[in-house]
Chains A and B, each alone.
Chain A
Amino acid sequence: MACGKIETRDLWYVAGGAEILRGVNVTIPEGEIVCVAGPSGAGKSTLLRALNRLIEPSSGEVFLDGEPTDAMDPLELRRRVGMIFQLPALSGASVEECVLYGPRLIGEGADAGELLRMAGLDDSFLRRDPQSLSVGQQQRVSIARALALGPEVLLMDEPTSALDEAARDRVEKSILALNRREGLTIIAVSHDLEQVERLADRVILLADGRREGAWSREEFDGGGRERMRRFVSGRI
Protein backbone atom coordinates (compact mmCIF):
# COMPACT_ATOMS: atom_id res chain seq x y z
CA MET A 1 0.00 0.00 0.00
CA ALA A 2 2.25 2.72 -1.23
CA CYS A 3 1.88 5.80 -3.40
CA GLY A 4 -1.62 6.99 -4.15
CA LYS A 5 -1.17 10.46 -5.63
CA ILE A 6 -4.12 11.68 -7.65
CA GLU A 7 -4.30 14.63 -9.97
CA THR A 8 -7.05 15.91 -12.24
CA ARG A 9 -6.53 18.25 -15.16
CA ASP A 10 -9.39 20.34 -16.55
CA LEU A 11 -11.97 17.68 -15.70
CA TRP A 12 -15.42 18.11 -17.23
CA TYR A 13 -18.50 15.94 -16.83
CA VAL A 14 -21.64 16.78 -18.76
CA ALA A 15 -24.77 14.63 -18.48
CA GLY A 16 -28.14 15.28 -20.06
CA GLY A 17 -27.04 18.82 -21.00
CA ALA A 18 -26.06 19.69 -17.39
CA GLU A 19 -22.45 20.65 -16.66
CA ILE A 20 -21.76 18.80 -13.43
CA LEU A 21 -17.97 19.22 -13.37
CA ARG A 22 -16.56 22.32 -15.03
CA GLY A 23 -12.83 22.17 -15.54
CA VAL A 24 -11.78 20.84 -12.13
CA ASN A 25 -8.05 20.81 -11.34
CA VAL A 26 -7.06 19.19 -8.06
CA THR A 27 -3.89 17.60 -6.74
CA ILE A 28 -4.15 15.07 -3.96
CA PRO A 29 -0.76 14.21 -2.46
CA GLU A 30 -0.12 10.61 -1.43
CA GLY A 31 -0.81 9.61 2.15
CA GLU A 32 -3.12 12.51 3.01
CA ILE A 33 -6.73 12.69 4.06
CA VAL A 34 -8.37 15.12 1.70
CA CYS A 35 -11.91 16.29 2.35
CA VAL A 36 -14.01 17.47 -0.57
CA ALA A 37 -16.65 19.83 0.76
CA GLY A 38 -19.27 22.04 -0.78
CA PRO A 39 -22.99 22.60 -1.06
CA SER A 40 -25.39 19.97 -2.45
CA GLY A 41 -25.20 19.63 -6.20
CA ALA A 42 -21.63 20.95 -6.27
CA GLY A 43 -20.39 17.83 -8.08
CA LYS A 44 -18.59 16.23 -5.12
CA SER A 45 -19.84 12.67 -5.69
CA THR A 46 -19.36 13.04 -9.43
CA LEU A 47 -15.74 14.09 -8.91
CA LEU A 48 -15.17 11.03 -6.72
CA ARG A 49 -16.71 8.71 -9.34
CA ALA A 50 -14.52 10.23 -12.03
CA LEU A 51 -11.41 9.36 -9.99
CA ASN A 52 -11.99 5.58 -10.18
CA ARG A 53 -13.82 5.91 -13.51
CA LEU A 54 -17.19 4.69 -12.30
CA ILE A 55 -18.22 7.45 -14.70
CA GLU A 56 -16.39 8.53 -17.83
CA PRO A 57 -15.36 12.20 -17.75
CA SER A 58 -16.55 14.16 -20.78
CA SER A 59 -13.10 15.68 -21.12
CA GLY A 60 -9.95 16.28 -19.11
CA GLU A 61 -7.64 13.83 -17.44
CA VAL A 62 -7.16 11.97 -14.18
CA PHE A 63 -3.71 10.75 -13.17
CA LEU A 64 -2.89 8.09 -10.59
CA ASP A 65 0.77 8.27 -9.55
CA GLY A 66 1.44 10.23 -12.72
CA GLU A 67 -0.19 7.67 -15.02
CA PRO A 68 -3.26 8.75 -17.03
CA THR A 69 -6.19 6.61 -15.86
CA ASP A 70 -7.96 6.62 -19.22
CA ALA A 71 -5.18 4.40 -20.54
CA MET A 72 -5.53 1.97 -17.63
CA ASP A 73 -7.77 -1.09 -17.38
CA PRO A 74 -10.74 0.31 -15.42
CA LEU A 75 -10.99 -2.86 -13.31
CA GLU A 76 -7.33 -2.63 -12.33
CA LEU A 77 -7.79 1.08 -11.57
CA ARG A 78 -10.72 0.32 -9.24
CA ARG A 79 -8.67 -2.26 -7.40
CA ARG A 80 -6.05 0.42 -6.75
CA VAL A 81 -8.59 3.13 -5.95
CA GLY A 82 -11.25 1.66 -3.66
CA MET A 83 -14.56 3.30 -2.87
CA ILE A 84 -16.91 3.51 0.10
CA PHE A 85 -20.45 4.71 -0.51
CA GLN A 86 -22.92 6.59 1.62
CA LEU A 87 -24.90 3.37 2.10
CA PRO A 88 -22.86 0.17 2.49
CA ALA A 89 -24.69 -2.02 -0.13
CA LEU A 90 -23.35 -5.30 1.25
CA SER A 91 -23.95 -8.60 -0.51
CA GLY A 92 -23.22 -12.20 0.42
CA ALA A 93 -24.57 -14.59 3.04
CA SER A 94 -21.86 -13.81 5.60
CA VAL A 95 -19.59 -10.90 6.46
CA GLU A 96 -16.60 -13.03 5.44
CA GLU A 97 -18.07 -13.72 1.99
CA CYS A 98 -18.83 -10.04 1.61
CA VAL A 99 -15.33 -8.90 2.59
CA LEU A 100 -13.68 -11.39 0.24
CA TYR A 101 -15.87 -10.44 -2.76
CA GLY A 102 -13.18 -8.37 -4.50
CA PRO A 103 -10.22 -10.79 -4.15
CA ARG A 104 -12.38 -13.77 -5.15
CA LEU A 105 -13.31 -12.06 -8.42
CA ILE A 106 -9.68 -12.40 -9.45
CA GLY A 107 -9.18 -15.82 -7.88
CA GLU A 108 -7.30 -14.55 -4.86
CA GLY A 109 -7.81 -14.81 -1.12
CA ALA A 110 -7.30 -12.48 1.84
CA ASP A 111 -7.38 -12.61 5.62
CA ALA A 112 -10.91 -11.41 6.28
CA GLY A 113 -10.37 -11.29 10.07
CA GLU A 114 -7.35 -9.02 9.69
CA LEU A 115 -9.26 -6.78 7.27
CA LEU A 116 -12.13 -6.46 9.73
CA ARG A 117 -9.69 -5.50 12.48
CA MET A 118 -8.21 -2.82 10.22
CA ALA A 119 -11.72 -1.44 9.80
CA GLY A 120 -12.36 -1.48 13.55
CA LEU A 121 -14.35 -4.71 13.92
CA ASP A 122 -13.22 -8.11 15.25
CA ASP A 123 -13.40 -11.60 13.73
CA SER A 124 -16.52 -12.51 15.71
CA PHE A 125 -18.37 -10.75 12.87
CA LEU A 126 -17.07 -13.12 10.17
CA ARG A 127 -19.99 -15.56 10.31
CA ARG A 128 -22.68 -12.93 10.81
CA ASP A 129 -25.29 -12.11 8.20
CA PRO A 130 -24.33 -8.63 6.91
CA GLN A 131 -27.97 -7.58 6.87
CA SER A 132 -28.26 -8.26 10.63
CA LEU A 133 -25.64 -5.60 11.49
CA SER A 134 -26.25 -1.96 12.35
CA VAL A 135 -25.61 0.53 9.55
CA GLY A 136 -22.46 1.68 11.35
CA GLN A 137 -21.11 -1.88 11.51
CA GLN A 138 -22.12 -2.43 7.89
CA GLN A 139 -20.19 0.66 6.88
CA ARG A 140 -17.06 -0.70 8.57
CA VAL A 141 -17.59 -4.05 6.81
CA SER A 142 -17.73 -2.11 3.54
CA ILE A 143 -14.39 -0.48 4.47
CA ALA A 144 -12.89 -3.93 5.14
CA ARG A 145 -14.31 -5.07 1.78
CA ALA A 146 -12.60 -2.19 -0.02
CA LEU A 147 -9.32 -2.84 1.86
CA ALA A 148 -9.32 -6.48 0.74
CA LEU A 149 -7.94 -5.43 -2.64
CA GLY A 150 -5.00 -3.58 -1.08
CA PRO A 151 -5.85 -0.18 -2.56
CA GLU A 152 -3.52 2.83 -2.54
CA VAL A 153 -6.42 5.26 -2.35
CA LEU A 154 -9.83 5.06 -0.70
CA LEU A 155 -12.63 7.27 -2.00
CA MET A 156 -15.38 7.86 0.54
CA ASP A 157 -18.69 9.36 -0.53
CA GLU A 158 -20.23 10.81 2.63
CA PRO A 159 -19.32 7.65 4.54
CA THR A 160 -20.92 8.73 7.82
CA SER A 161 -23.96 10.70 6.71
CA ALA A 162 -26.30 7.75 7.33
CA LEU A 163 -24.83 7.04 10.79
CA ASP A 164 -25.62 8.21 14.30
CA GLU A 165 -22.98 10.10 16.27
CA ALA A 166 -21.41 7.10 18.04
CA ALA A 167 -21.16 5.07 14.83
CA ARG A 168 -19.81 8.10 13.01
CA ASP A 169 -17.03 8.48 15.60
CA ARG A 170 -16.03 4.84 15.22
CA VAL A 171 -15.92 5.09 11.41
CA GLU A 172 -13.87 8.30 11.64
CA LYS A 173 -11.46 6.53 14.00
CA SER A 174 -11.05 3.74 11.42
CA ILE A 175 -10.44 6.31 8.69
CA LEU A 176 -7.74 8.05 10.71
CA ALA A 177 -6.11 4.73 11.66
CA LEU A 178 -6.01 3.56 8.03
CA ASN A 179 -4.36 6.76 6.98
CA ARG A 180 -1.87 7.07 9.85
CA ARG A 181 -0.97 3.37 10.14
CA GLU A 182 -1.34 2.06 6.59
CA GLY A 183 -0.46 5.27 4.77
CA LEU A 184 -3.59 5.15 2.63
CA THR A 185 -4.55 8.25 0.68
CA ILE A 186 -8.16 9.00 1.60
CA ILE A 187 -10.46 11.31 -0.31
CA ALA A 188 -13.69 11.86 1.59
CA VAL A 189 -16.71 13.85 0.47
CA SER A 190 -18.36 15.54 3.39
CA HIS A 191 -20.87 18.31 3.83
CA ASP A 192 -20.19 18.40 7.57
CA LEU A 193 -17.67 21.17 8.33
CA GLU A 194 -16.94 19.76 11.78
CA GLN A 195 -16.04 16.42 10.25
CA VAL A 196 -13.77 18.20 7.81
CA GLU A 197 -12.06 19.83 10.82
CA ARG A 198 -11.58 16.48 12.53
CA LEU A 199 -10.20 14.58 9.54
CA ALA A 200 -8.67 16.75 6.87
CA ASP A 201 -4.99 17.22 6.05
CA ARG A 202 -6.19 19.14 3.03
CA VAL A 203 -9.54 20.62 2.00
CA ILE A 204 -11.01 21.11 -1.45
CA LEU A 205 -14.08 23.29 -1.83
CA LEU A 206 -16.34 22.60 -4.81
CA ALA A 207 -19.34 24.66 -5.87
CA ASP A 208 -21.32 24.55 -9.11
CA GLY A 209 -18.89 22.04 -10.56
CA ARG A 210 -15.85 24.28 -10.04
CA ARG A 211 -13.00 24.21 -7.58
CA GLU A 212 -13.58 27.26 -5.42
CA GLY A 213 -10.70 26.66 -3.04
CA ALA A 214 -7.98 24.17 -2.04
CA TRP A 215 -6.08 24.49 1.21
CA SER A 216 -3.47 22.55 3.12
CA ARG A 217 -4.27 22.13 6.80
CA GLU A 218 -2.16 25.19 7.71
CA GLU A 219 -3.80 27.35 5.07
CA PHE A 220 -7.19 26.08 6.15
CA ASP A 221 -6.51 26.97 9.79
CA GLY A 222 -5.13 30.34 8.75
CA GLY A 223 -8.16 31.64 6.90
CA GLY A 224 -9.44 28.95 4.54
CA ARG A 225 -11.90 27.77 7.17
CA GLU A 226 -13.58 31.17 7.41
CA ARG A 227 -13.79 31.54 3.66
CA MET A 228 -15.28 28.11 3.32
CA ARG A 229 -17.74 28.65 6.16
CA ARG A 230 -18.98 31.86 4.57
CA PHE A 231 -19.12 30.26 1.16
CA VAL A 232 -20.99 27.16 2.21
CA SER A 233 -23.43 28.87 4.58
CA GLY A 234 -24.12 31.55 1.96
CA ARG A 235 -24.87 28.88 -0.60
CA ILE A 236 -27.04 26.65 1.55
Chain B
Amino acid sequence: MEGLGTVASALLALGLVAVAVALSFYEKLDLEKDIGVAVVRSFVQLAAIGYVINFVFGLDSLGYVALLLAVMVGFAGWTSSRRARGVHRALPLAAAAIGVAAVCTLGLLLVLQVVPPTGRYLIPLGGMVVGNSMNAASLTMGRIRDDVEAQRANIEAALALGATSRQAVAPVLKSSLRSAMIPLVDSTKTVGIVFLPGAMAGMIIGGADPLEAVRLQIVVLYMLLGSVAISAILVGLFSYRSFFTPRHQLRPATPDA
Protein backbone atom coordinates (compact mmCIF):
# COMPACT_ATOMS: atom_id res chain seq x y z
CA MET B 1 0.00 0.00 0.00
CA GLU B 2 2.87 2.37 0.69
CA GLY B 3 3.73 2.31 -3.02
CA LEU B 4 0.53 4.14 -3.71
CA GLY B 5 2.02 7.21 -2.13
CA THR B 6 4.62 7.68 -4.81
CA VAL B 7 4.23 9.43 -8.14
CA ALA B 8 5.77 6.46 -9.91
CA SER B 9 3.06 4.11 -8.73
CA ALA B 10 0.39 6.59 -9.77
CA LEU B 11 1.89 6.48 -13.24
CA LEU B 12 1.46 2.71 -13.23
CA ALA B 13 -2.29 3.33 -13.12
CA LEU B 14 -1.84 4.81 -16.59
CA GLY B 15 -1.92 1.24 -17.82
CA LEU B 16 -5.65 1.35 -17.16
CA VAL B 17 -5.96 4.49 -19.28
CA ALA B 18 -4.45 2.50 -22.14
CA VAL B 19 -7.53 0.26 -21.98
CA ALA B 20 -9.78 3.29 -22.51
CA VAL B 21 -7.60 4.58 -25.35
CA ALA B 22 -7.58 1.14 -27.00
CA LEU B 23 -11.38 0.92 -26.73
CA SER B 24 -11.78 4.40 -28.20
CA PHE B 25 -9.42 3.51 -31.06
CA TYR B 26 -11.03 0.13 -31.74
CA GLU B 27 -14.61 1.46 -31.64
CA LYS B 28 -13.65 4.69 -33.49
CA LEU B 29 -15.05 6.84 -30.65
CA ASP B 30 -12.54 9.52 -31.58
CA LEU B 31 -11.85 10.21 -27.91
CA GLU B 32 -8.12 9.40 -27.82
CA LYS B 33 -7.08 13.04 -27.90
CA ASP B 34 -9.62 14.04 -25.24
CA ILE B 35 -8.52 11.17 -23.00
CA GLY B 36 -4.88 12.20 -23.47
CA VAL B 37 -5.65 15.82 -22.57
CA ALA B 38 -7.74 14.70 -19.59
CA VAL B 39 -4.95 12.46 -18.29
CA VAL B 40 -2.28 15.11 -18.57
CA ARG B 41 -4.47 17.88 -17.17
CA SER B 42 -5.71 15.82 -14.23
CA PHE B 43 -2.13 14.80 -13.38
CA VAL B 44 -0.79 18.35 -13.54
CA GLN B 45 -3.79 19.90 -11.77
CA LEU B 46 -3.94 17.34 -8.96
CA ALA B 47 -0.18 17.46 -8.42
CA ALA B 48 -0.33 21.26 -8.33
CA ILE B 49 -3.27 21.39 -5.94
CA GLY B 50 -1.47 18.86 -3.71
CA TYR B 51 1.47 21.24 -3.39
CA VAL B 52 -0.82 24.26 -3.01
CA ILE B 53 -2.82 22.61 -0.22
CA ASN B 54 0.39 21.57 1.47
CA PHE B 55 1.61 25.15 1.22
CA VAL B 56 -1.65 26.58 2.58
CA PHE B 57 -1.61 24.08 5.47
CA GLY B 58 1.92 25.28 6.25
CA LEU B 59 0.75 28.92 6.36
CA ASP B 60 -1.90 27.95 8.88
CA SER B 61 -4.09 30.94 7.99
CA LEU B 62 -7.82 30.94 7.24
CA GLY B 63 -7.28 33.91 4.92
CA TYR B 64 -5.26 31.77 2.53
CA VAL B 65 -7.87 28.98 2.76
CA ALA B 66 -10.52 31.51 1.75
CA LEU B 67 -8.31 32.76 -1.08
CA LEU B 68 -7.81 29.24 -2.40
CA LEU B 69 -11.56 28.61 -2.28
CA ALA B 70 -12.21 31.90 -4.08
CA VAL B 71 -9.84 30.86 -6.87
CA MET B 72 -11.70 27.53 -7.15
CA VAL B 73 -15.03 29.39 -7.37
CA GLY B 74 -13.68 31.69 -10.10
CA PHE B 75 -12.36 28.79 -12.14
CA ALA B 76 -15.62 26.84 -11.67
CA GLY B 77 -17.64 29.87 -12.78
CA TRP B 78 -15.46 30.22 -15.89
CA THR B 79 -15.83 26.50 -16.73
CA SER B 80 -19.57 26.63 -16.20
CA SER B 81 -20.00 29.76 -18.32
CA ARG B 82 -18.26 28.05 -21.24
CA ARG B 83 -21.05 25.48 -21.21
CA ALA B 84 -23.66 28.24 -21.33
CA ARG B 85 -22.99 30.13 -24.54
CA GLY B 86 -25.94 32.34 -25.36
CA VAL B 87 -26.60 33.15 -21.70
CA HIS B 88 -25.65 36.77 -21.06
CA ARG B 89 -23.17 37.42 -18.25
CA ALA B 90 -22.89 33.67 -17.63
CA LEU B 91 -19.46 34.01 -15.97
CA PRO B 92 -20.35 36.42 -13.15
CA LEU B 93 -23.71 34.70 -12.74
CA ALA B 94 -22.24 31.20 -12.40
CA ALA B 95 -19.38 32.40 -10.20
CA ALA B 96 -21.79 34.26 -7.91
CA ALA B 97 -24.17 31.28 -7.67
CA ILE B 98 -21.34 28.85 -6.91
CA GLY B 99 -19.81 31.31 -4.43
CA VAL B 100 -23.09 31.83 -2.60
CA ALA B 101 -23.65 28.06 -2.49
CA ALA B 102 -20.16 27.54 -1.02
CA VAL B 103 -20.45 30.35 1.54
CA CYS B 104 -23.91 29.25 2.70
CA THR B 105 -23.12 25.55 3.10
CA LEU B 106 -19.59 25.84 4.49
CA GLY B 107 -20.69 28.75 6.65
CA LEU B 108 -23.52 26.71 8.14
CA LEU B 109 -21.19 23.79 8.88
CA LEU B 110 -18.81 26.16 10.65
CA VAL B 111 -21.51 27.99 12.59
CA LEU B 112 -23.05 24.71 13.75
CA GLN B 113 -19.53 23.48 14.56
CA VAL B 114 -20.04 20.36 12.47
CA VAL B 115 -16.50 20.77 11.17
CA PRO B 116 -13.60 22.68 12.72
CA PRO B 117 -12.43 25.90 11.00
CA THR B 118 -9.24 24.45 9.56
CA GLY B 119 -7.94 24.10 6.03
CA ARG B 120 -7.80 20.32 6.44
CA TYR B 121 -11.64 20.27 6.40
CA LEU B 122 -12.54 23.43 4.54
CA ILE B 123 -10.42 22.87 1.43
CA PRO B 124 -11.59 19.36 0.54
CA LEU B 125 -15.20 20.07 1.51
CA GLY B 126 -15.08 23.37 -0.37
CA GLY B 127 -13.71 21.59 -3.42
CA MET B 128 -16.64 19.18 -3.38
CA VAL B 129 -19.19 21.96 -2.93
CA VAL B 130 -17.66 24.03 -5.71
CA GLY B 131 -17.42 21.08 -8.10
CA ASN B 132 -20.99 19.94 -7.58
CA SER B 133 -22.38 23.48 -7.68
CA MET B 134 -20.49 24.06 -10.90
CA ASN B 135 -22.10 21.01 -12.52
CA ALA B 136 -25.53 22.11 -11.33
CA ALA B 137 -24.98 25.63 -12.71
CA SER B 138 -23.78 24.29 -16.07
CA LEU B 139 -26.69 21.86 -16.38
CA THR B 140 -29.27 24.45 -15.42
CA MET B 141 -28.03 27.18 -17.76
CA GLY B 142 -27.53 24.81 -20.69
CA ARG B 143 -30.93 23.26 -20.22
CA ILE B 144 -32.73 26.61 -19.90
CA ARG B 145 -31.07 27.88 -23.06
CA ASP B 146 -31.99 24.74 -25.04
CA ASP B 147 -35.54 24.53 -23.67
CA VAL B 148 -36.33 28.20 -24.25
CA GLU B 149 -35.35 27.60 -27.86
CA ALA B 150 -37.35 24.38 -28.15
CA GLN B 151 -40.40 25.86 -26.41
CA ARG B 152 -40.54 29.21 -28.19
CA ALA B 153 -44.11 28.62 -29.38
CA ASN B 154 -45.41 27.81 -25.89
CA ILE B 155 -43.53 30.70 -24.31
CA GLU B 156 -44.85 33.19 -26.89
CA ALA B 157 -48.38 31.84 -26.43
CA ALA B 158 -48.11 32.46 -22.68
CA LEU B 159 -46.68 35.96 -23.18
CA ALA B 160 -49.52 36.74 -25.59
CA LEU B 161 -51.94 35.85 -22.78
CA GLY B 162 -50.45 38.50 -20.52
CA ALA B 163 -47.93 36.28 -18.71
CA THR B 164 -44.73 37.89 -17.41
CA SER B 165 -41.43 36.45 -18.66
CA ARG B 166 -41.10 34.61 -15.37
CA GLN B 167 -44.59 33.11 -15.64
CA ALA B 168 -44.07 32.17 -19.30
CA VAL B 169 -40.76 30.47 -18.61
CA ALA B 170 -41.92 28.70 -15.41
CA PRO B 171 -42.35 25.21 -16.97
CA VAL B 172 -38.88 25.47 -18.56
CA LEU B 173 -37.36 26.64 -15.29
CA LYS B 174 -38.97 23.79 -13.39
CA SER B 175 -37.70 21.08 -15.72
CA SER B 176 -34.22 22.65 -15.85
CA LEU B 177 -33.91 22.72 -12.06
CA ARG B 178 -35.16 19.14 -11.84
CA SER B 179 -32.64 17.94 -14.39
CA ALA B 180 -29.81 19.71 -12.55
CA MET B 181 -30.74 18.22 -9.18
CA ILE B 182 -31.84 14.71 -10.12
CA PRO B 183 -28.35 13.17 -10.54
CA LEU B 184 -27.35 14.13 -7.00
CA VAL B 185 -30.75 13.25 -5.50
CA ASP B 186 -30.55 9.83 -7.14
CA SER B 187 -27.00 9.17 -6.04
CA THR B 188 -27.95 10.30 -2.52
CA LYS B 189 -30.80 7.80 -2.50
CA THR B 190 -28.59 4.91 -3.53
CA VAL B 191 -25.52 5.84 -1.53
CA GLY B 192 -24.10 2.97 0.50
CA ILE B 193 -25.97 0.40 -1.59
CA VAL B 194 -24.89 1.08 -5.14
CA PHE B 195 -21.65 2.92 -4.47
CA LEU B 196 -19.42 4.26 -1.74
CA PRO B 197 -18.75 7.95 -2.30
CA GLY B 198 -15.26 9.29 -2.79
CA ALA B 199 -14.74 11.03 0.53
CA MET B 200 -15.80 7.99 2.52
CA ALA B 201 -13.87 5.56 0.35
CA GLY B 202 -10.78 7.78 0.68
CA MET B 203 -11.04 7.95 4.46
CA ILE B 204 -11.48 4.20 4.80
CA ILE B 205 -8.51 3.53 2.50
CA GLY B 206 -6.56 6.10 4.52
CA GLY B 207 -7.21 4.04 7.67
CA ALA B 208 -9.99 6.03 9.32
CA ASP B 209 -12.69 4.42 11.44
CA PRO B 210 -15.53 3.47 9.00
CA LEU B 211 -18.13 4.99 11.36
CA GLU B 212 -16.23 8.28 11.44
CA ALA B 213 -16.00 8.09 7.64
CA VAL B 214 -19.77 7.58 7.46
CA ARG B 215 -20.42 10.54 9.76
CA LEU B 216 -18.38 12.83 7.56
CA GLN B 217 -19.92 11.40 4.40
CA ILE B 218 -23.43 12.14 5.64
CA VAL B 219 -22.40 15.71 6.34
CA VAL B 220 -20.89 15.90 2.86
CA LEU B 221 -24.01 14.57 1.11
CA TYR B 222 -26.39 16.95 2.87
CA MET B 223 -24.02 19.80 2.24
CA LEU B 224 -23.84 18.92 -1.46
CA LEU B 225 -27.62 18.68 -1.77
CA GLY B 226 -27.95 22.12 -0.25
CA SER B 227 -25.23 23.68 -2.39
CA VAL B 228 -26.49 22.14 -5.63
CA ALA B 229 -30.00 23.42 -4.89
CA ILE B 230 -28.74 26.92 -4.10
CA SER B 231 -26.52 27.09 -7.17
CA ALA B 232 -29.16 25.70 -9.59
CA ILE B 233 -31.93 27.95 -8.26
CA LEU B 234 -29.77 31.08 -8.37
CA VAL B 235 -28.55 30.56 -11.94
CA GLY B 236 -32.07 29.50 -12.94
CA LEU B 237 -33.73 32.60 -11.53
CA PHE B 238 -31.24 34.94 -13.17
CA SER B 239 -30.18 33.25 -16.41
CA TYR B 240 -33.64 33.02 -18.02
CA ARG B 241 -33.73 36.82 -18.10
CA SER B 242 -31.12 36.90 -20.83
CA PHE B 243 -33.70 35.45 -23.22
CA PHE B 244 -36.30 38.16 -22.56
CA THR B 245 -36.44 41.94 -22.80
CA PRO B 246 -37.62 43.97 -19.80
CA ARG B 247 -40.92 44.41 -21.69
CA HIS B 248 -41.62 40.67 -21.47
CA GLN B 249 -40.62 39.93 -25.06
CA LEU B 250 -38.81 36.78 -26.09
CA ARG B 251 -35.58 37.83 -27.79
CA PRO B 252 -34.93 36.53 -31.31
CA ALA B 253 -33.04 33.23 -31.38
CA THR B 254 -29.30 33.81 -31.16
CA PRO B 255 -27.19 31.97 -33.73
CA ASP B 256 -24.86 30.50 -31.09
CA ALA B 257 -27.68 29.41 -28.76
Interface string of B44-83 (1 = CB under 8 A from A): 0000000000000000000000000000000000000000
Closest chain A residue, CB of each to CB of B156: A54
**Is there an interface contact between A149 and B153, defined as CB atoms closer than 8 Å?**
no
**Is there an interface contact between B154 and A76, defined as CB atoms closer than 8 Å?**
no
Known: A15-B252, A54-B159, A83-B160. 11 other contacts (CB 8 A): A53-B249, A74-B248, A75-B162, A78-B160, A85-B153, A89-B153, A89-B154, A91-B158, A101-B161, A102-B161, A146-B160
**Is there an interface contact between A89 and B162, defined as CB atoms closer than 8 Å?**
no
**Is B245 part of the binding interface, using a Cβ–Cβ cutoff of 8 Å?**
yes
Contact sample, A vs B, 27 pairs, CB 8 Å cutoff: A15-B252, A54-B156, A54-B250, A55-B249, A56-B247, A74-B248, A75-B162, A75-B163, A75-B164, A75-B248, A76-B162, A78-B159, A78-B161, A79-B162, A83-B160, A85-B156, A88-B157, A91-B157, A101-B158, A102-B161, A102-B162, A105-B161, A105-B162, A105-B163, A105-B167, A146-B161, A149-B161
Residues from chain A with Cβ under 8 Å of B171 in the complex = 91
Residues from chain A with Cβ under 8 Å of B247 in the complex = 53, 56, 74
Residues from chain B with Cβ under 8 Å of A74 in the complex = 247-249
Closest chain B residue, CB of each to CB of A70: B247
Shortest Cβ gap from B131 to chain A (Å) = 36
Interface string of B185-210 (1 = CB under 8 A from A): 00000000000000000000000000
Closest chain B residue, CB of each to CB of A76: B162
C-alpha gap A91/B154 in the complex (Å): 8
**Is there an interface contact between A82 and B160, defined as CB atoms closer than 8 Å?**
yes
Residues from chain A with Cβ under 8 Å of B161 in the complex = 78-79, 82, 101-102, 105, 145-146, 149
Count the B residues whose beta carbon is within 8 Å of the partner chain — how many? 19
Closest chain A residue, CB of each to CB of B248: A74
Chain B residues within 8 Å of A, Cβ to Cβ? 153-154, 156-164, 167, 171, 245, 247-250, 252
C-alpha gap A158/B252 in the complex (Å): 20
C-alpha gap A145/B171 in the complex (Å): 18
**Is A87 part of the binding interface, using a Cβ–Cβ cutoff of 8 Å?**
yes
C-alpha gap A105/B250 in the complex (Å): 18
Question: Known contacts A91-B171, A105-B167: does B249 contact A78 (CB below 8 Å)?
Answer: no
Interface string of A58-97 (1 = CB under 8 A from B): 0000000000000000111011001101011111000000
**Is there an interface contact between B160 and A56, defined as CB atoms closer than 8 Å?**
no
Question: Known contacts A75-B162, A102-B162, A105-B167: does B156 contact A56 (CB below 8 Å)?
Answer: no
Closest chain B residue, CB of each to CB of A155: B160
C-alpha gap A101/B154 in the complex (Å): 12
**Is there an interface contact between A106 and B252, defined as CB atoms closer than 8 Å?**
no
Closest chain B residue, CB of each to CB of A55: B249
Chain A residues 126 to 166 lying within 8 A of chain B, measured CB to CB, are 142, 145-146, 149
Shortest Cβ gap from A68 to chain B (Å) = 14
C-alpha gap A83/B250 in the complex (Å): 15
Residues from chain B with Cβ under 8 Å of A223 in the complex = none
**Is A8 part of the binding interface, using a Cβ–Cβ cutoff of 8 Å?**
no
